[in-house]
Amino acid sequence: MSDFTSSPTIDLTMTADPNRADYRVISEMIPNGAKVLDVGSGDGALIALLKQEKNIDARGIEISQKGVSLAVSKGISVVQGDADKDLFHYPDNGFDYVVLSQTIQATHSPETVLRELLRIGRHAIVSFPNFGFWRMRAHLLLKGEMPVTEDLPYTWYDSPNIHFCTIRDFFDLCEKADARIEKFIALSGGRRPLPDSWPLAVKNIAGEQAVFLLTRKEK
Give the footprint of other proteins on this chain (CB under 8 A).
59, 65, 68-69, 71-81, 86, 89-91, 94
**Whose CA is closest to 56, among 31, 22, 29?**
31
Q: State in angstroms the smallest separation of the CB of 47 from other proteins.
A: 12
Q: State in angstroms the smallest separation of the CB of 133 from other proteins.
A: 36
Detail the DSSP E strand segments found in 73-155.
77-80, 95-101, 121-129
Q: For residues 52 and 136, what is the distance between their CA atoms, to the nearest angstrom?
A: 35
Identify which of residues 121 and 207 has a Cβ nearer to other proteins in the complex. Answer: 121
Identify which of residues 14 and 79 has a Cβ nearer to other proteins in the complex. Answer: 79
Q: State in angstroms the smallest separation of the CB of 132 from other proteins.
A: 35
Q: State in angstroms the smallest separation of the CB of 48 from other proteins.
A: 12
Count of CB atoms within 10 A of residue 143's CB? 10
Identify which of residues 22 and 116 has a Cβ nearer to other proteins in the complex. Answer: 116
- The DSSP call for residue 139 is I
φ/ψ of 55, rounded to 5, equals: 50, 45
Identify which of residues 33 and 75 has a Cβ nearer to other proteins in the complex. Answer: 75
